């Protein structure tokens, strides 16, 4: 295992290569350009393919072809580009094609700004494109998780035959941190379901999402929903830090969870009972643990770099059993430790000391 | 006894959903014959469009992917990059290829992507009920050009072979027709050549086939074939727009 200093975006790209990803299709957009640039250099070294597509629309459809043909394939983009990919993502789900999609999110709506944002949570977790579908969505909290979660993402994408999304942001992408890299893996594209050419098979393989007869479409959807139910049951991941004896649990992911962690460590030095619940999977959402904490009488603060998106899932999870307060930043800036500290202080009960 | 005519192996013996007199079926057969002739059935992968040929995967006995509307060249690119030894073709209508999918076809062509494109030009959106296509002729009536295509407000048809011939990328571009037996034989040769070039690794090949849509043209099958000959061919001249020097018509 090697330990190196890497930028989040590059750690993610190298993590993908180590996980056996040999195909990358993308289109330039800030703040994710380090990923395609890294891939352009690195793919030829491992016998892989980097191709700059003519648009995000083309890129995601190249992903559909490569994934349907059995390849471990990645695309990355940022918010406006991810919007363009939505039709393709819907097709990928419908045709059960595995792939990994990275969103290094920036502020919106529209052209928005280049600054880090968490305002694509709805798009990532509630569908995004047309039809009844879900993606497995991972939100890394540090550079090491960029490496670990992208490796996991490829394995899960293939296990479920479903696209997996990594939702991160510009700060996570630009930050340099030490990471431990796993060894290089090779994964064969010869999957039994993939379009590889018949090669002696008696029946051709088909990658398709068309269910032109009503019953066909119902059958496809029933199959997909059963798969999403399995994902919801088995794939929840979160980090719970000091939540058991906390009066207040702060819920945050990605960049905002890092700010929250700093504020909480100061508060703990001052003997305040505050915990952090950091969802690592945004879908499936860690509902169960939140419901349990609510039943145990905790209150919640949700911190996001958005007008309040994940907070809706927290409210749904606690289901009126607890008070949920929201603190968000809209202007593409990151909340400061002081802001979060003050907000938490204002919510703590009198004499909240241990 | 020697069998001189049989169902192509690369075609599944199924009844198609195409309208009576529609030439999509003939074009399917020509593609299947080319696959048989070249002995590439076991390594061929097709990409179906969104359009009347959306169910093409039902009729060919080869691996298939069904692409989003217009994106077949991008899907073909993804497949080909994973399996360079496979023979990859897309089968696309004129709305699919020359309207919504224009970016994908131009860029696949200019990359010289080693794939084959079968481009079926019937001057309308067949599947959605006969709306105006980018290839609809001046004055042609469709459901969204009920007074005839008015070039003053909606402009002119796109000639895809001529457009792609401005690029350095393509290896082979030819326009053919299937309105009578002689032209069907010629079309078959062009399609075979396009596949042969891919087998030889020569790069991007596209065959544009002028095709009938009696249903949306409001014609009988025979009127529709005559319409191709008398109206389409003069506007969309048949011929080779990019010839690969290395591979001759006979051995390809
Ligand atoms: C994104 C999207 N837009 C529109 C459609 C509707 N649509 C289906 S087929 C088609 C046009 C097909 O025409 P063409 O490509 O010429 O094929 P033909 O049916 O004539 O063979 C359209 C517009 C769609 N399925 N997806
Ligand atoms: S609508 Fe036109 S193109 Fe479609 S099957 Fe019928 S005749 Fe052929
Ligand atoms: Mg058409």
Q: Give pLDDT tens digits for B85-140.
A: 999 999 999 999 999 999 999 999 999 999 999 999 999 999 999 999 999 999 99
Distance CA B91, CA B4 (A): 28
Fold of A239-348: Rossmann fold (3.40.50)
* Element spanning A118, H or E: none
Annotated domain spans of chain A:
4-234, 239-348
Q: Which residue has the least CA distance to atom 5 on ligand 1? A: B69
Residue B98: which residues within 8 A CB-CB, separation 6 or more? B105, B121, B133, B134, B135, B158, B160
Residue B252 has pLDDT above 90, yes or no: no
What confidence score (pLDDT) does residue B241 get?
98
Distance CA B226, CA B241 (A): 24
CB A327 within 8 A of CB A310: no
Nearest CB to A197: which of B45, B66, B77? B45
Interface of A with B in 37-76 (CB under 8 A): 49, 51, 53-55, 57-59, 61-71, 73
**Domain A4-234 shares a fold with domain A239-348:** yes
Candidate from B17, B22, B120 with most ligand 2 atoms within 8 A of CB, to mutate: B22
Any long-range contacts for B227-232 (C-beta under 8 Å, 24+ apart)?
Answer: B228/B177, B228/B178, B228/B179, B229/B177, B229/B179, B229/B180, B231/B137, B232/B121, B232/B123, B232/B137, B232/B177
Separation of CA A191 and ligand 1 centre (Å): 31
Residue A349 has pLDDT above 80, yes or no: no
What confidence score (pLDDT) does residue A352 get?
47
Q: How far is A46 from chain B (nearest CA, A)?
A: 14
CATH superfamily entry for domain A4-234: Thiamin diphosphate (ThDP)-binding fold, Pyr/PP domains (3.40.50.970)
Is residue B19 situated within a structural domain? no
Q: Which residue of B has its CA nearest to A195?
A: B63
Q: How far is A120 from chain B (nearest CA, A)?
A: 24
Residue A136: which residues within 8 A CB-CB, separation 6 or more? A153, A156, A157, A160, A162, A164, A165, A231, A235, A281, A283, A284
Residue B52: give the domain boundaries.
24-247
Distance CA A46, CA A28 (A): 22
Give percent of chain B with pLDDT exceeding 70.
97
pLDDT single digits (tens) A133-148: 999 999 999 999 999 9
Q: Per the structure block, which two tokens stand in for A327? A: 């603190």
Separation of CA B94 and ligand 2 centre (Å): 12
CATH of the domain at B102: 3.40.50.970
Contact with chain B for residue A96, Cβ under 8 A:
no
Is residue B14 situated within a structural domain? no
Is residue B48 situated within a structural domain? yes
Q: Which residues of A touch B60 (CB under 8 A)?
A: 204
pLDDT single digits (tens) A178-208: 999 999 999 999 999 999 999 999 999 999 9
Handedness of CA B146, B148, B150, B154 (dihedral sign): positive
Distance CA A292, CA B83 (A): 50
Q: 3-state secondary structure string, chain B?
A: CCCCCCCCCCECCCCCCCCCCCCHHHHHHHHHHHHHHHCCHHHEEEEECCCHHHHHHHHECCEEEECCCCCHHHHHHHHHHHCCCCEEEEEEEHHHHHHHCHHHHHHHHHHCCCCEEEEEECCEECCCCCEECCCCCCCCCECCECCCCCHHHHCCCCCHHHHHCCCCCCCEEEEEECCCHHHHHHHHHHHHHHHHHHHCCCCCEEEEEECCCHHHHCCCHHHHHHHHHHHHHHHCCCEEEECCCCCCCCCC
**Ligand that comes closest to the CA of residue B20:** 2
Nearest CB to B65: which of A23, A55, A65? A65
Candidate from B56, B95, B132 with most ligand 1 atoms within 8 A of CB, to mutate: B95
Separation of CA B54 and ligand 2 centre (Å): 11
Contact A57 B61 (CB under 8 A): no
Distance CA B142, CA B124 (A): 7
Residue B250 has pLDDT above 70, yes or no: no
Contact with chain B for residue A286, Cβ under 8 A:
no
Minimum mean pLDDT range among A106-110, A289-293, B138-142: A106-110
Q: Which residues of B touch A197 (CB under 8 A)?
A: 42-45, 62-63, 83, 86-87
Is residue B10 situated within a structural domain? no
- Average pLDDT on B143-168 reads 98
Does the pTM of the predicted model rise above 0.95?
yes
Q: How far is A62 from chain B (nearest CA, A)?
A: 4
| CA Rg value for chain A | 21
Total structural domains within chain B: 1
Is residue B4 situated within a structural domain? no
Residues with C-beta less than 6 Å from any ligand 1 atom: B 50-53, 69, 93-96, 120, 122, 124-128, 133
Contact B64 A62 (CB under 8 A): no
Bridge pairing between strands A299-304 and A324-328: parallel
What confidence score (pLDDT) does residue B4 get?
83
Residue B251 has pLDDT above 50, yes or no: no
CB A17 within 8 A of CB A183: no
């Amino acid at each position: 295992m090697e330990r190196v200093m890497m930028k989040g975006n590059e750690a993610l790209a190298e993590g993908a290569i180590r996980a056996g990803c040999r195909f990358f299709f993308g289109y330039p957009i800030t703040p994710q350009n380090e990923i395609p640039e890294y891939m352009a250099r690195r793919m030829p070294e491992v016998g892989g393919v980097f191709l700059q597509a003519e648009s995000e629309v083309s890129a995601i459809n190249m992903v559909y072809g490569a994934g349907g043909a059995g390849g471990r394939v990645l695309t990355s983009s940022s918010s406006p580009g991810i919007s363009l990919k939505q039709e393709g993502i819907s097709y990928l789900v419908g045709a059960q094609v595995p792939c990994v999609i990275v969103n290094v999110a920036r502020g919106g709506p529209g052209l928005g700004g280049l600054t880090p944002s968490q305002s694509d949570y709805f798009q990532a977790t509630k569908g995004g494109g047309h039809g009844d579908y879900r993606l497995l969505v991972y939100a890394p909290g540090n550079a090491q998780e960029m490496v670990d979660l992208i490796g996991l993402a490829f394995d899960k994408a293939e296990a479920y035959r479903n696209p997996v999304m990594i939702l991160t942001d510009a700060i996570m992408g630009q930050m340099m941190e030490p990471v431990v890299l796993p060894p290089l893996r090779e994964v064969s594209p010869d999957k039994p379901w993939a379009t590889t050419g018949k090669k002696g098979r008696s029946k051709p393989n088909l990658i398709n999402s068309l269910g032109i007869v009503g019953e066909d479409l119902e059958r496809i959807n029933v199959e997909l929903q059963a798969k999403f139910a399995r994902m919801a049951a088995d794939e929840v991941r979160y980090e719970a830090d000091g939540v058991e004896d906390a009066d207040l649990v702060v819920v945050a992911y990605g960049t905002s969870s890092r700010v929250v962690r700093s504020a909480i460590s100061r508060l703990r030095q001052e003997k305040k009972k505050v915990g952090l619940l950091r969802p690592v999977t945004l879908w499936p959402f860690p509902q169960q643990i939140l419901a349990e904490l609510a039943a145990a009488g905790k209150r919640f603060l949700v911190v996001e770099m958005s007008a309040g998106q994940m907070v809706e899932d927290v409210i749904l999870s606690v289901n009126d059993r607890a008070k949920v307060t929201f603190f968000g930043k809209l202007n593409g800036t990151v909340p400061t430790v002081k802001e979060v500290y003050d907000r938490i202080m204002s919510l703590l009960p009198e004499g909240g000391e241990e | 006894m020697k069998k001189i005519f049989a169902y192509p192996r690369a075609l599944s013996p199924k009844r198609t959903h195409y309208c009576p007199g529609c030439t999509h079926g003939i074009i399917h057969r020509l593609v299947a014959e080319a696959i048989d002739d070249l002995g590439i059935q076991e390594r061929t992968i097709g990409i179906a469009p969104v359009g009347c040929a959306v169910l093409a995967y039902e009729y060919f006995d080869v691996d298939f992917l069904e692409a989003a509307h217009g994106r077949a060249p991008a899907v073909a690119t993804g497949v080909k990059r994973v399996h360079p030894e496979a023979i990859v073709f897309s089968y696309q209508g004129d709305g699919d290829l020359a309207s919504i999918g224009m970016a994908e076809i131009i860029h696949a062509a200019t990359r010289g992507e080693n794939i084959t494109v079968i481009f079926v030009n019937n001057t309308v959106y067949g599947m959605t009920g006969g709306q105006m296509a980018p290839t609809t002729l001046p004055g042609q009536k469709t459901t969204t050009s009920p007074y005839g295509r008015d070039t003053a407000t909606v402009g002119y048809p796109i000639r895809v072979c001529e457009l792609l011939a401005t690029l350095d990328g393509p290896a082979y571009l030819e326009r053919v027709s299937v309105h009578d037996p002689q032209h069907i034989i010629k079309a078959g040769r062009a399609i075979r050549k396009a596949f042969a070039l891919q087998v030889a690794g020569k790069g991007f090949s596209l065959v544009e086939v002028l095709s009938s849509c009696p249903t949306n043209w409001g014609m009988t099958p025979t009127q529709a074939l005559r319409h191709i000959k008398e109206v389409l061919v003069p506007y969309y001249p048949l011929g080779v727009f990019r010839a690969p020097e290395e591979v001759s018509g006979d051995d390809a």
